[in-house]
């Protein structure tokens, strides 16, 4: 059981700059657990302008996670937040900020989006992404792309340069190439860790019980399929974006919630921006992110109650777990998850960056 030790890693960051000091804000993990368990959740943080996640799944273990790996995860989340921060600091839009943040996560092989995407059952890569602007509910998405280096850029193109919301497969790849996006061959996405996970998954599927408990599959489960970002800008416009490589050993052509507006991604000004991660089929059936928004807009719930109700209470009843990052127009932020862990972090107005990768890291409640 968690103790009341320091559990949140906070990096104070000067606006537009690199980390300039290290500090810690603490809250007993037991207090946080009680806050969530008693049905009266409070936002994880206030004054947030940008947040990212790196996937929900099994929890990272402090005892077995090396300092090097912990630093790599935190740096990956922090670099994504700093990329979005640069956009916001120069007066850019929240849409540009979430795109910039997700691009950094897509380029990081630690996460399952872009470089480092998982393999399908036929040893290929099919990637999905979506983006939504809260000011006018414009959205764009791509599904099953195989040759776009940064799928979130293709999703943005669909939103800005077409009359459609989603393009899939070869059509989406062609559309991206025609508009000058950088294309790659399938081997660009390859990482040995993801290949090893596919081999172990196939062995487990064939009846090898030891494979199902392998370190390769445990590592694969720690980042369960998705990255995402939510932001609010100087005009109070909300935006959200999500990108994924999907599930290891998924059937070719399978599409999860990440490119589906209202399931994996949703943003509406004055209400909320949300990006989800987890069991995609369940998040589709439960219309996860739009339901959070609707509970706020029509049910008059606050951001923490709405997100907690959907992610922790409702979706597990449909047979799947996961998490969400949700941001309100007042800067209230919450990141509930029914999975054991969820990699995420956020940026506050004052430039503070907070990253959370371990399950006993509790909100600063500030």
Convert the pLDDT of each residue in 221-235 to its tens digit. 545 569 999 999 999
User: Half-sphere exposure (CA, 13 Å, Cβ side) for 24?
Assistant: 10
Query: Among 243, 227, 305, which Cα is nearest to 272's?
Result: 305
Q: Please tell me the distance from the alpha carbon of residue 80 to that of residue 93, in angstroms, as a whole number.
A: 16
**70, pLDDT greater than 80:** yes
Say whether 263 sits in a helix, a strand or coil.
Answer: coil
CA distance 103 to 98: 9
Per DSSP, the residues of 51-70 read EEEEEEESPPPTTTS-HHHH
pLDDT, position 17: 41
Residue 78 has pLDDT above 60, yes or no: yes
Q: Say whether pLDDT at 305 is over 80.
A: yes
Quote the CA–CA distance of 260 and 266 in Å, as a whole number.
9
User: pLDDT at residue 29 above 60?
Assistant: no
User: Which residue carries 């077995």 as its tokens?
Assistant: 64
Q: Report whether pLDDT(39) > 60.
A: no
Q: Is 58 a catalytic residue?
A: no
d(CA 57, CA 153): 26
What is the pLDDT, as a whole number, of residue 360? 80
Please report, rounded to a whole number, the percentage of residues in the chain having pLDDT higher than 70: 84
Decide: 60 and 357 in contact? Cβ < 8 Å: yes
| pLDDT at position 225 | 60
**Please, which pLDDT band fits residue 136 given cuts at 50, 70 and 90?**
very high
CB 257 within 8 A of CB 234: no
In the set 9, 226, 242, 321, the catalytic residue is: 226
Residues 109-113, mean pLDDT to the nearest whole number:
94
What average pLDDT score do residues 87-106 get? Answer: 98
Q: Does position 32 have pLDDT exceeding 80, yes or no?
A: no
């Amino acid at each position: 059981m968690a103790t009341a030790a320091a559990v949140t890693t906070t990096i104070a960051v000067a606006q537009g700059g690199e980390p300039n000091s290290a500090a810690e804000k603490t809250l007993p993990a037991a207090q946080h657990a009680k806050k969530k368990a008693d049905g009266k959740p409070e936002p994880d943080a206030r004054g947030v302008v940008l947040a990212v996640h790196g996937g929900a799944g099994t929890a990272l273990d402090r005892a077995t996670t090396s300092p090097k790996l912990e630093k790599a995860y935190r740096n990956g989340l922090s670099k994504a937040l700093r990329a979005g921060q640069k956009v916001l600091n120069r007066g850019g839009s929240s849409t540009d900020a979430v795109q910039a943040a997700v691009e950094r996560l897509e380029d990081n092989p630690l996460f399952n989006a872009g470089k480092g995407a998982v393999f399908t059952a036929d040893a290929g890569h099919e990637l999905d992404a979506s983006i939504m602007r809260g000011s006018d509910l414009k959205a764009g998405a791509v599904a099953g792309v195989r040759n776009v280096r940064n799928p979130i850029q293709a999703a943005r193109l669909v939103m800005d340069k077409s009359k459609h919301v989603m393009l899939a497969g070869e059509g989406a790849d062609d559309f991206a190439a025609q508009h000058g996006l950088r294309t790659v061959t399938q081997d660009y996405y390859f990482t040995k860790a993801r290949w090893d996970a596919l081999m172990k998954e196939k062995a487990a599927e064939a009846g090898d019980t030891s494979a199902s408990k392998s370190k390769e599959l445990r590592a694969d489960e720690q980042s369960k399929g998705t990255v995402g970002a939510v932001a609010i800008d100087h005009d109070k416009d909300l935006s959200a974006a999500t990108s994924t490589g999907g599930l290891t050993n998924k059937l070719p052509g399978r599409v999860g919630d990440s490119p589906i507006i209202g399931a994996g991604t949703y943003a509406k000004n004055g209400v909320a921006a949300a990006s989800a991660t987890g069991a995609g089929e369940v998040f589709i059936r439960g219309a996860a992110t739009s339901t959070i928004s609707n509970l706020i807009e029509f049910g008059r719930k606050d951001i923490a109650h709405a997100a907690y109700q959907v992610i922790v209470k409702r979706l597990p009843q449909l047979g799947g777990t996961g998490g969400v990052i949700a941001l309100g127009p007042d800067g209230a932020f919450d990141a509930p998850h029914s999975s054991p862990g969820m990699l995420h972090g956020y940026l506050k107005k004052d430039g503070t960056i907070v990253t959370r990768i371990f399950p006993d890291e509790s909100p600063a409640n500030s």
